[in-house]
Amino acid sequence: MNANPSSSTRPEADFDVIVVGGGLGGLYTLYRMRELGLTARAFEAGSGLGGTWFWNRYPGCRCDVESLEYSYSFSPELEQEWHWPDRYGTQPQILEYIEHVADRLDLRKYVALNTRVLTATFDSATTLWTITTDKGDTVSAPYIVMATGNLSTPRVPDFPGLSRFQGESYHTGLWPHEGVDFTGKRVGIIGTGSSGVQSIPYLAEQAKHLHVFQRTANFILPARNAPMDPERERRHKATYRERRKAAYDTPFGIAGYPPPSKGALEATPEERDAAYTAKWGEGGSISFLYSFTDLLLDQQANDTAADFVRARIREVVKDSRTAELLCPTDHPIGTKRLILDTNYYETFNRDNVTLVDARNTPIECITPTGIRTSETSYQFDAIVFATGFDAMTGALREIDIRAGAGAEITSKWADGPHTYLGIMMAGFPNLFMVTGPQSPGVKSQMILAIEQHVNFIAGCLGHMQSEGFARIEADQEAEDRWVQYNDTVAQATLYPKANSWYMGANIPGKPRIFMPYVGGVHTYCQLCNDIVAKGYDGFTFSAI
């Protein structure tokens, strides 16, 4: 194997690197590993590449980061060549882009599709990871990279009677490839997160009647999607390199939004209204959060933005009871993932759409013919579960990962994730994560986060090659400090106030710990660079 000269003491491995996942993270990992001269093989459960963008085919599925930003940055040629038709990419457009990249870099041949990794076991004596798959494969490599995604474990709540429903049922994250025609059907949809909010206007156009079961109202801002403005595309492409570089110096990994200079409470009510109105007109979530410096730090400041959004909801939704139900009141704006919509609130003005208050009249069970709440029974031909994911830790915990006695991922993460930088875990040598918990991944432009992580991992492996190391492990003390630091950073913000999937709050019994790093991409990248400059501070290398 090429990974390092001293590995001649190791038994022969099948590959230098095993990659788990064939989405944006897995593909970029393959690319970088091959650039290092390493042999790598990726294993992907889906029948195609693309990860999130392969599975989430529900109507209306679209990215909430602008398409000129939401793309790989490593190839100037690629970003110049590619044309995005819309301001925000649709799922088919993004999947087409991913497939194009895979073909262009000739990566398909390194991915085993339709293959789910079941176990990953480390043998300390040989310094090898061995995986087993649902296809019966047993494959070994000294390094394993988990590019398993943060929102890749779809979840349907354990409603009594679920299996007895006689109509059609779908989860937004497992949408049939051939699409679904709801024309003339009575449809119920459970969930009003991003997936629900994006699909509801489309379902409403087809269904005979659509009942929307909302447990928690969310803050939803206009996307203002539009066909790509050619002049905007030209300007963006002319400055792509500078923009990509500048993105690393921003909190959310996206350049081009002028940072705010003052707090909401320092502004007059008129100034606040003017700022929010301008951002509302512009569309987008980061731009809105950038109205003032303190929106995620100070409850009173946050209330001014929340009040603005609630006023807009009341303006659009004609039925006042429905409007009040749609007004979020239980969390500060921005502390759950902000949702971008097209025609969501307007949809509730249609005669064939009814909002059901699943907070005060909770869903009690699924019946053979529909849904029963504490108030009444509804009859449906189809139920759509837009009920989210076991986020951030679900995909990793689904794999039986073991690195020796006492080092099983399920016990290590029993009280929430423990990582160093979201990239490695103490006790799990040579196992890397791409945008793992306690990294800024989900709180940033995901593809930038992927590239930054994979570049860090490639840097580690390059360092090991040149120094003759065979084994890298995060130090327990460095991990403990990182976990504590993450918590301190999060507690200084309003984020932990929301019952969000960031907190594990959407899964009954999941530990309540704020999982993403929210100190900002700029700070995180600086910390990573400092760690490398100090000879990979917090990591221990050895020859075997």
Chain positions contacting ligand N01, by CB under 6 A:
62-64, 151, 157, 172, 190-196, 198, 213, 215-216, 337, 358, 363, 386-389, 501, 506
- Min separation Cβ 370 and ligand N01, Å: 15
Q: Considering beta carbons, is residue 56 or 115 the nearer one to ligand N01?
A: 56
**What's the CA gap between 173 and 517, in Å, rounded?**
25
User: For residues 254-265, b (16+ Cβ closer than 10 Å) or e, as one string?
Assistant: bbebeebeeebe
* First CA to last CA distance, the chain: 14
Q: Considering beta carbons, is residue 198 or 452 the nearer one to ligand N01?
A: 198
Q: Considering beta carbons, is residue 157 or 167 the nearer one to ligand N01?
A: 157
- Min separation Cβ 151 and ligand N01, Å: 4
**What's the CA gap between 88 and 92, in Å, rounded?**
12
Q: Considering beta carbons, is residue 339 or 470 the nearer one to ligand N01?
A: 339
Q: Considering beta carbons, is residue 62 or 244 the nearer one to ligand N01?
A: 62
**What's the CA gap between 176 and 93, in Å, rounded?**
17
- Min separation Cβ 195 and ligand N01, Å: 3
- Min separation Cβ 198 and ligand N01, Å: 6
Report in angstroms the alpha-carbon separations of 204 from 136, 319, 339. 44, 17, 19
Report in angstroms the alpha-carbon separations of 106 from 100, 146, 183, 505. 10, 21, 41, 40
Task: Answer left, alpha or beta for residue 2, where phi above 0 means left and psi between -120 and 50 means alpha.
Answer: alpha
- Min separation Cβ 366 and ligand N01, Å: 11
- Min separation Cβ 139 and ligand N01, Å: 30
- Min separation Cβ 521 and ligand N01, Å: 16
Half-sphere exposure of 364 toward its Cβ, with a 13 Å CA cutoff? 9
The answer to whether 64 and 197 are in contact (CB under 8 A) is no
| CB within 8 Å of 283: residues ≥ 6 apart | 221, 222, 223, 224, 225, 340
- Residue 262 DSSP SS3: coil
Residue nearest to ligand N01 (CB): 193
Q: Considering beta carbons, is residue 272 or 337 the nearer one to ligand N01?
A: 337
User: In what side-by-side order are the strands of the sheet with 111-112?
Assistant: 111-112, 40-43, 17-20, 143-146, 431-433
**What's the CA gap between 439 and 227, in Å, rounded?**
33
| Structure tokens given for 285 | 């979530």
How many other C-beta atoms lie within 10 A of the C-beta of residue 82? 17
- Min separation Cβ 4 and ligand N01, Å: 38
Report in angstroms the alpha-carbon separations of 360 from 161, 363, 377, 455. 21, 9, 15, 48
Q: Considering beta carbons, is residue 22 or 191 the nearer one to ligand N01?
A: 191
Q: Considering beta carbons, is residue 109 or 177 the nearer one to ligand N01?
A: 177
The answer to whether 156 and 162 are in contact (CB under 8 A) is yes
- Min separation Cβ 191 and ligand N01, Å: 3
Q: Considering beta carbons, is residue 195 or 438 the nearer one to ligand N01?
A: 195
Q: Considering beta carbons, is residue 255 or 363 the nearer one to ligand N01?
A: 363
- Min separation Cβ 506 and ligand N01, Å: 5
